[in-house]
Amino acid sequence: MTMRLLTTLGTLAAALALSACASAPTELRGTGDLGVVIERATGRVQIVEHSHDSSLGSVDGLGDLSHAHVAFSRDSRYAYVFGRDGGLTKVDLLTRRIARRIIQAGNSIGGSVSQDGRLVVAQNYEPGGIKAFDADTLELLAEVPAEYAPGKFSRVVGLADVPGQRFAYALFDANEIWVSDLSDPRKPVTTRYPAGKQPYDGLVTPDGRYFLAGLFGEDGISLLDLWHPEAGSRKILSGYGRGEEKLPVFKMPHLRGWSLAAGQAWLPAVGRHEVLVADVRSWQEAARIPVKGQPVFVMARPDGRQVWVNFAFPDNEWVQVIDTVEKRVIHTFSPGKAVLHLEFTPRGEEVWLSSRDSNRVTVVDTASFAVRKELPADAPSGIFFTSRAQRIGF
Amino acid sequence: MDRSLLIHVAVLLGLTALAVSAAPAAEPAPTPERQQTLVHMVRQDCGSCHGMRLAGGLGPALLPERLAELPDESLVATILNGRPGTAMPGWNRFMDEAEAGWIVARLKEGFPSLQ
């Protein structure tokens, strides 16, 4: 009798323990198909997966996520979320909890992970400069203030990890490109190169060789060959505006290493409603493609056959697709209001698009352009998949 | 009797103060619906450069303590016409002078939150 009662109690206790665990993910799973969607107004991120196109849950308490950026740990288990308010949060994608969180600056716009995965580096507006943290503990290891003249600090843009434990970035206020070598993370070594006027963002080509800084203050792009840094930086696509008056830019374009496709670089013009195409061998202009508005993101599908473009206010409900062989727009559509970002799945069969003012993320088939799914999200902005962890310059 | 008169005067004074502060250029305030649109535009679209909390980014902070010393007219002109040589474009395609004035008044007192 007593024995039977004890067994029953034991079973009950086990069942209770199980049900308590059910709210947290317990099954083993990989992270290669996971991603993060920023819900910018609520300081929250959704954890999503693109094998079945679903949301797994959310994590909140991440602060001001306007202009938030995400980089991933080498093992793709953790997302480093960089907030506008200087918050740097390490989010565990599997348990969907905050693993660590620090406030590392007053005003920040993003960051990147070193080649060996051991450093997380943040790029900051206030105080202007970069900071390197231990990727496990988020302990501060080094700081490179962007002090370009005595007492003068620049806002840092376009930070990209490049081979050799180096980071390339541009100084908006100093018209320079800097490359910091963090091989010894406690003793960064920085080299300065002139850039053109007001570099607004930067990118490194997928092989890590060329760093490009887009210029706001003049028509053109600064190019630094990291295989021949001694040759210095040079300007390409200069004067693409041909002296014509610029159209107003209601949102700055963004650059990243997705710009290369079919042997060419596909870049947003600034103050012109065009996508600029440059040959990657000669860096000469190869074409310009008229588009619907001021391009913000110009992103190649991973195979390079298509380039997708979204736009600045007030044309931000539109998305256009360019065929990279025909070099013309082949599809124009609106997935929702205020399309802020898009992200391809690793091999590009689908793309996820965030519509801030329609409160949803739309998953689109890139071959048929059919909508595969719509996921509700609260004013979504950036979408980041873990496949970024395996790429140079993300 | 005295007390209720005082209350009436106080309420009237309060209303007058409100009306004055809400419309610095003596223009009619935007409709509540339009106010929502303007708040959304400032927080979200101006927010791309100035930050959603208006604490600054590529554009400067638009918080009351920073704007206090700047004259309303020059802030309105900046919103409508932009600032050449900087990344600030003119927004006169999207709002009129009274609406820009309404935005400046709200910025100076602490900008409303998104609904």
Secondary structure letter of residue A61 according to DSSP: -
Asked if A66 and B49 come within 8 Å (Cβ–Cβ), the reply is: no
Q: How confident is the model at residue A41 (pLDDT cuts 50, 70, 90)?
A: confident
Distance from CA of A125 to the nearest CA of B (A): 7
- Say which of B47, B87, B94 has its CB closest to residue A252: B87
CA dist A96 and A55 (Å) reads 12
Spell out which residues of chain B touch residue A356, defining contact as CB-CB under 8 Å: 44
In a domain, A89, yes or no: no
Instruction: Give the CATH number for residue A207.
Output: 2.130.10.10
Answer yes or no: is A376 within a domain: no
The number of folded domains in chain B is 1
Contact A251 B45 (CB under 8 A): yes
Q: Is the pLDDT of residue B3 over 60?
A: no
Residue type, A253: P
Report residue B26: phi and psi, to 5°.
60, 25
pLDDT band for position B21 (cuts 50, 70, 90): very low
Range of B79's domain? Answer: 30-109
Whether residue B66 is contained in a domain is answered as yes
> What tokens appear for A209 in the block?
């060789």
Q: Which residue of A has its CA nearest to B89?
A: A248
Predicted pLDDT at A245: 85
CATH number of the domain where residue B66 is located: 1.10.760.10
Segment A261-277 shows an average pLDDT of: 96
The mean of the pLDDT values for chain B is 85
CA dihedral A169, A171, A175, A179 (to 10 degrees): -30
Q: What is the pLDDT of residue A3?
A: 53
pLDDT, position B16: 45
Token couple for A280: 């990657």
Query: Where does the pLDDT of residue A266 fall: very low under 50, low under 70, confident under 90, or very high at 90 and above?
Result: very high
Confidence at residue A242, expressed as pLDDT on a 0 to 100 scale: 77
Compute the distance between CA of residue A194 and CA of residue A178 in angstroms, rounded to an integer: 9
pLDDT digits (tens, 9 = 90+) for A69-87: 999 999 999 999 999 999 9
CA distances (Å), origin A291, targets A294, A353, B26: 8, 18, 42
The pLDDT value recorded for residue B18 is 46
Q: What span, in angstroms and rounded, lies between the C-alpha atoms of A161 and A204?
A: 8
**What are B56-71's pLDDT values in tens digits?**
999 999 999 999 999 9
Chain-chain contact of A252 with B56 (C-beta, under 8 angstroms): no
pLDDT at A257: 87
In chain A, the residue whose alpha carbon lies closest to the alpha carbon of B85 is: A217
Q: What is the pLDDT of residues A345-373, one digit of tens each?
A: 999 999 999 999 999 999 999 999 999 99
Determine, yes or no, domain membership for A137.
Answer: yes
Residue B10 pLDDT > 70: no
ipTM over 0.90: no
In this predicted structure, the answer to whether residue A25 has a pLDDT above a threshold of 70 is no
pLDDT exceeds 80 at position A24: no
Per-residue model confidence as pLDDT tens digits over A202-250? 999 999 999 999 999 999 999 999 999 999 999 999 988 877 888 999 9
Is A261 domain-assigned?
no
Cβ-defined contact of A198 to B56 (cutoff 8 Å): no
Residue A66 in any domain: the answer is no
Average pLDDT, chain A: 94
Residue A172 near residue A198, CB atoms below 8 Å: yes
Place of tokens 């231990």: A134
Domain count, chain A: 1
User: Please, are residues A232 and A223 in contact by the beta-carbon 8 Å criterion?
Assistant: no
A85 and B44 within 8 Å at the Cβ level: the answer is: no
Position A4 pLDDT exceeds 70? no
- Whether residue B22 is predicted with pLDDT greater than 70 in this model: the reply is no
